[in-house]
Each structure stands twice: as C-alpha cells, then as structure tokens.
Structure 1
Amino acid sequence: MKLQRMLLIYAIIIGILIVLVGCRTTHTAPAASPTPTPTSELPPASPTPQPPAHDQTMDVLTQMSLTEKIGQMVLVGMDGTAVQPEISSLIKERSVGGVILYSNNVESAKQLSQLLNGLKQVNRDAKSKLPLLLSADQEGGRVSRLPKEIKAFPASMTVGSTNDPKYAYRVGSALGEAMKMAGFNTDYAPVLDVNTNPNNPVIGDRAFGTTANRVTSMGVQEMLGIKSQGVIPVVKHFPGHGDTSVDSHYGLPVVEHDLQRLRTTEFVPFASAIQKGAPVVMVAHILMTKLDPNTPASMSRIIIQDFLRGELNFGGVVISDDMTMEAVGKTIAIGPAAVKAVMAGADIVLVGHDPEQQKAVLDALTAAVQSGKIPQTTIDASVTRIAKLKSDFHLSDQPTAPADVHKVNQLIEAALKK
C-alpha cells in the first residue's frame, strides 16, 4: 500500500510540474514567435517616423488650395504705417504668407504694434491656415528697422571686431528679444558675407569681418542668439556678396571666383550656419560666373540645388532677395523671374515693393503651375518646408502688446556691455 501511495504522490507531482511548465511555455511563446498583428490594429511600421509637427504640416497641406499654397510662397512689402487696402487684399484674396517692413513703415513702438497686430487680424479674418511671417532687416548699424526710440545696435563689423563669440551671441539674443517684443517673428540677419573687397558698395560694415574665420565665429553665434529668442534668423546673402563692386539694388554684381576659392572663403560661414541649424537662407542676385555663367544665383538651379541643398546639405527654407531690385529688373520681367526662382529651388519669393508687381508674381506662379511648367510636387515641397518652419518657431497670429521701450533699452544696454 505504501508503495502504491508513494507512486500516486509522485504521479501527482509530475503532473503538476508538466502543467506548470506548459503554462510557462504558452506564456512566453509569443515573444519568441510573434503572431502577426492586423494592420487595422497597429499603424504600419515606418523606417523614418516623422515628428508630430510634420504630421500636422501634412494635414494643413492637404487642406490648402493652389491659391493658398502659392500665397505662402510670396512675401510682400507694403506702403504706409497702417494696414492699407492693398496689403489687406493680398492677405485675404491671395493668401500671401508674410510681410516685410522697412523704415518708412515704422514710426514708433506703439504704431508698429498696431500695424503688426492689424496684419495678424486680417490674416485671422481670412481664416488663413498658417500664421504670417512678420519680418524686417534688423542687422544693426545702418540697416535697422526698429523704432527710433529703441536703442541702436552696433554694425556687424563693430561686433566682429571684438572677436568675442560670446559677445556676438549676446548681441544676437538681444536682437531677437527686441524684435520679438516689437512684434516681429523673423529677422533678415545675420549677414554672413565675407567682406574681402574694401570698396564693396553694399556690404562693408554690414559684414562681421574680412576673413571667413571671423565671419563664421561671430556671425553664426549671432544667428544662434537670435534663434534662442524664438525669432527666425535668415542668414544672407548666399553664395556670398562680400567681394562685389556693384550694389545689387541697382545692377547685377558679377563674381569671378572659382569653386576652390568659394569653398574656402564665401561658402564657409554658410556651411557652418547650416550645420548649426540655420532655418532660412537668403539667396542673392549675383552672377557667379564659375558656377553658373548665365543665371543669377537667386534663379540658378545649379547654385540652389547643387551647392546650397546638395553640397552644403541645407534642408530648410530658401528665400530670394527682393525681386524688385534692379539686379533682376534690368534683365527680366518680375513674373518670369519669380517662376525661374521657384523652378531653381526657392521656397519663398520676396517682393518688397509695388502691389502690381506683387500680383504679377502671384499670377505668374499660378499660371506656371496650372500649365505644368512648375510641378505641383515642387509647390507642395516648398509649402511643407514653410509650414514646418512656422510650426517649429510656434508662430501665431494672436495680438501682442506694444514693446516696453524702457525694458527693451535696458536689455540692449546690458547685452552691449563688453
């Protein structure tokens, strides 16, 4: 009996062990051999998952008409110191994506705030899917757009002469904060041209120096300072306006340097800025004969696609210099020039003056897409980059208070102390 009882106990123990082992095996089996999950229950795998901002950008893109997309690719200037019917119409009816202000648009901090908030209101009333780029050339020195009551910033050459990158960053941060407090969200600065020509009629003290190293070490830090305040810095004027003898506002500059020289001088600050996250690059109206002997850089696919996007690996927004400048106007009508710029790779065409010229650009771009001259995919790629830029910098059309002039001046004074 004892033997039978012991055998029975052993049998029960062995049975329990078998059940336990079986349960464990059943539990761990899916980890070793996963059962395929239906695609309706799990999103398809993506080798390069996109961040949420990009997904939102794509959603916006699919909701936009051709008119809205073309409008985002045109940034315009305006007349007067208050919202005028012409600019209101361009925003409401043509969906222009941004506005540039010049000195004659600015009287005071209070007036500037009212103007910028007024432009935002028009964009809100138009139910635009994207906020406006509100921009100005605030470099410091002789190129300044902030109200006169705000303390002046030094010229870039003065900043560069300190050879102190931390100082350049501090100045850039103050520039960005002053622009933001004034109501802007985009600054066409810093200038990354290497001023190797002492007789340069347009750059001069707008550059940080006469060597690639000085411009790079100081200019890129100023860019990072501006960016730190949530303001979009636009580095300019690619591929390099530093060794020109003609002002592109009045004629077409010609640069004869070969590629080796450009790679060791003119390209250097831009390459560094791009590596450090430059979000926007402005392309100049310059004829670089050794790169593209027939077409100014702003309309050259070789310069924008092969060098800026290809060799320098720039994936951000490309904006042209002002298409109403004589460097363009003396050789080609503005409508065809804008089409050439977009076909070359420009995402935004800047048209600083004249509502009729601005409409001509919008009409020409629309017709070029409708005829198939500009592929729809080109437009979509540009608008995607623009929308992502606006999302990345959290642009908004909500009104802002006028700048506290005393506070702005205090922060500028603190930043400029060496």
Structure 2
Amino acid sequence: MHPGQLLFAGFEGTQIPEDLAGLVREGRVGGIVLFARNLRGPGQVRDLVAQLHGLAPGDTPLGVAIDQEGGRVQRLRAPWTEWPPMRRLGERDDLAETVRVARALALELADLGIDLDFAPVVDVDTNPHNPVIGDRSFGREPERVARHARAFIEAMQGAGVAACAKHFPGHGDTSEDSHLALPRVDHPLGRLLEVELVPFRAAARAGVASMMTAHVLLPCFDPHVPATLCGAAIELLRGEIDYDGVVFGDDFEMAAVAQHFPPREATRRALEAGVDALLVCSRADVRDLVLAELEALPDAVLESGQRRMAALKRRFAGGRLRGPGAPPYPEHARLAAQIADQGVGST
C-alpha cells in the first residue's frame, strides 16, 4: 500500500482538479472528503462520486467521505433529507429512533457511493459555552451519549457505511473552536475516564470503523502538543480503550495545528504518535507537503496505519453499495420532521 493511502483530501469546486485526480489514479491519495462546495444536485453528485471511484487503481479502492451529522453539520441538504441535530435524539432518548435515523442517513449516502461518514459526534457536551460542539452532541450525560453513539454506529455500519466517532479524547468541555485556536482541557485523567472517554469506549465496543482525534491540548497527556500529535493520548485509545480501528487526525489546516506546526512536522508527529490517517480538506499546497512527508517516513511508522486502512477499505470502500435510490426520500423526511417537531420524548 502506498503511503499516500493514509491521506484523505478535499478540493474546491464541483469537479476534481486534475492534479488531485492524478494522485488518485496513482494510488497516492487514499480518500476524498466532500463538502457542500462540491455538491450541486443529485445528478451532479452521483456523477462526481462515480468519477472519483473510477479514477482509483483497480486494486486500491478510493474512500469517499463526508460530514453528514445532522443539524448544522450536514453537507448534503435538500432535496436530501435534512436531519435535526443529534442533541434532539439524545433528548428524546429513544434508541430505536436513533437506529432508524442512522440507517436512513446511511442509505442516502450509500445510494451515492459514499463509503464513510465522519459521524457521530460522541463528545459529551459538558460546557454550555462550547462554540463548536453544542447540539452536535447527543447530550451532557456520558452514559446517554454512549448508548446513542453505540446504536447509531451499529445501525449505520449495518447499512454498509463506515462511521467515525469524534473527537477523541473529547472536545465537549472547551471554550474555543479548534478551527480558530488551540483549545485546552485541564481535566485529570480520572475525570476523562469517568466522563469524556465513556462514549469512546462504547464506540470501540460497537466496532466503529474509525475515530477522529481532537486538536485539543490536554496537559494530563502532554502540555505542549494537541491530542492529534500526542503519543500518550493515542496509547490510551489503543490500550485502555482497546481500539484497533483507523484513527484519523482532524483537518491539518485547522488553526490548532496549522498555527503551531508546519505540515511536514505535524505529519511526522501524528504518525509517530500512532494516528493512522490524515485529513487535508482544502489546500493543495498543504496536501502536497503532507504527502511528501508520508512518502519519506520509514515503513515501521506506516505499517500499522496501512494495515488498519486496508481492513477498513476491504469492508466499506469502493462505492460497492451504490443503490437505485435518489432524493427526495419521503419516509426519511417524515421521520426527520417527527423528531424535530415533537421535541423531547418519554424516557
């Protein structure tokens, strides 16, 4: 497996740029991340995703990923179903309903050939002033978040789309947005184990295909580097939480990393810390620097990530589940409206 298979990249516009298309053809990029800026309508999206899969070498399927959480973070909007935020599911606390939402969401993605959803958010939203998590979380109680995360993951993956639990080891008690700054969480490890890490343990037990790290500084692990670059944090995930799936580092263009570490240094630190795969969601220059560093790293640093990525792709990648369906999805729309309109259900 080429080292670039550990890189997922994004692009501007509604057509893949030729330089990125060339990297996909050569097997030097492992996946493409789609954003609203790439998506114009059902026909265009279906054709784009089919083109992306068609570019990949025959023996190396391409992963196509998206952030389709519900609420304020969903790249596919009408005529696809617009889902309420996951907080609503946590408030209603009906696991069967969460399962129905996850299955429906997965079906709409699979119909397009999208293999991986960077969802659900399993952060525990303990800070009411948090500018970036809020209602993206299932709630403020660890066990509630954990049980809905597990139901969501099992249902989504049962429908054939890989899930991603984020943002390890917890972005719920921050007062800053890691897109703009480097947040700091001063909790001791004991508190993390009792609160923030409970849903990640549940996600691991659910067999979640991937997790995503938070660009958050936790002095209990390391006072100098964010969790994405921190070996102690990833060791906890692999050991205490017993997780052996793919670990993605969040977008390297976010200020929490980009303002403190050059792209090549951040790449080396992340892979040496135990992160498996990296996201560069916009800039071609950053993407190319990350790729150059991946290609320069020794095999010993890459092997575990390559093994995990190969396993994820064998199970999910390549758009194999693309179905005949197309939006709108009336049954899904009724479900979304019911959840949004009825508020808190019985527990």
Q: Same fold judged by TM-score > 0.5?
A: yes
Deviation track 1:191-232 (CA, whole Å, cap 9, x = no partner) reads: 000000000000011001011011112122111121111100
Aligned to 2:13: 80
Matched AA of 1:138: Q
Question: Cα 1:363–1:155, aligned 2, differ >3 Å: closer, same or farther?
Answer: same
Instruction: Please show how residues 228-307 of structure 1 align to structure 2 within 5 Å.
Output: 228-305=158-235, 307=236
Q: Which secondary structure state, in structure 2, belongs to the residue aligned with residue 75 of structure 1?
A: strand
Unaligned runs of 5+ in 2: 340-347
Say which SS state the counterpart of residue 311 (structure 1) adopts: coil
Are 1:176 and 1:228, in contact at CA under 8 Å, matched by a contact in 2?
no
User: Which residue of structure 2 aligns with residue 96 of structure 1?
Assistant: 29
Cross-structure match for 2:249: 320
State which of 275, 288, 308 in structure 2 corresponds to 1:385: 308
2:112 counterpart letter in structure 1: A
The 3-state SS of whatever aligns with 1:135 is strand
- Once the 2 structures are TM-superposed, how far is the Cα of residue 128 of structure 1 from its aligned partner? 4.8
Q: Which residue of 1 aligns with 2:343?
A: none
Q: Which residue of 2 aligns with 1:43?
A: none
Q: What are the equivalent positions in structure 2 for 1:163-202 lying under 5 Å apart?
A: 163-202=93-132
What amino acid sits opposite 1:102 in the alignment? Answer: F
Deviations 1:34-55 (A, max 9, x none): xxxxxxxxxxxxxxxxxxxxxx
Residue 412 of structure 1 deviates from its aligned partner by 4.4
| Pairs aligned (count) | 339
**Aligned position for 2:345:** none
Segments of structure 1 that go 5 or more residues without pairing to the other structure are 1-63, 370-375
**Matches for 1:45-84 after TM superposition, within 5 Å:** 64=1, 68=2, 70-84=3-17
Q: Distance in 2 between matches of 1:187 and 1:350?
A: 14
Q: Is the 8 A contact 2:115 2:319 kept in 1?
A: no
The Cα of 1:410 is off from its aligned counterpart by 2.5
Question: Normalized against structure 1, the TM-score is what?
Answer: 0.78
Equivalent residue number for residue 25 of structure 1? none
Amino acid across the alignment from 1:295? V
Deviation of the 1:402 alpha carbon:
7.0
After superposition, the C-alpha distances for 1:306-364 in whole angstroms (9 at most, x for unaligned) are x1001101011111000110100111111110111011111111111111110100111
Q: Distance in 2 between matches of 1:115 and 1:401?
A: 15
Per the alignment, residue 261 of structure 2 pairs with 332
Residue by residue, what CA displacement relative to the aligned partner does 1:152-174 show, whole Å, maximum 9, x if unpaired? 00101111110111111111111
User: Amino acid of the residue matched to residue 388 of structure 1?
Assistant: A
Superimposed CA distance per residue, residues 75-102 of structure 1 (whole angstroms, 9 cap, x where no aligned partner): 1001111222132122124620100011
- Residues 397, 153 of structure 1: CA spacing in aligned structure 2 closer, same or farther, 3 A cutoff? closer
Return the TM-score normalized by structure 2.
0.93
Indicate whether 1:355 and 2:304 are aligned.
no
Q: Distance in 1 between matches of 2:330 and 2:14?
A: 23
Residue-by-residue CA offset, 1:243-277 (whole Å, 9 max, x unaligned) = 00010000100000011110100000000111121
Cα deviations by residue, 1:123-164 (Å, 9 ceiling, x for unpaired): 1xxx25221110000000000011421120010111111011
Runs of 4+ in 1 over 6 A off after TM superposition: none
* Counterparts of 1:147 and 1:212, CA distance in 2: 30
Residue of structure 2 in register with 1:215 after alignment = 145
- The residue identity in structure 1 corresponding to 2:237 is L
Q: The residue matched to 1:134 in structure 2 has which SS?
A: strand
Q: Decide which structure has the larger Cα Rg and report it.
A: 1
Structure 2 counterpart of 1:183, which letter?
G
Q: What SS is found at the alignment partner of 1:209?
A: coil
Q: Contact 1:284–1:320 (CA<8 Å) still a contact in 2?
A: yes
Secondary structure (helix, strand or coil) at the match of 2:68 reads coil
Q: Contact 2:68–2:75 at 8 Å: present in 1 too?
A: yes
Structure of greater relative contact order (alpha carbons < 8 Å, 6+ residues apart): 2
Which residue of structure 2 lines up, in the alignment, with residue 413 of structure 1? Answer: 334
| 2:67 matches 1:137 | yes
Report the structure, 1 or 2, having the larger helix content: 1
Three-state SS of the structure 2 residue aligned to 1:180 is helix
Worse overlay, 93-102 or 264-273: 93-102
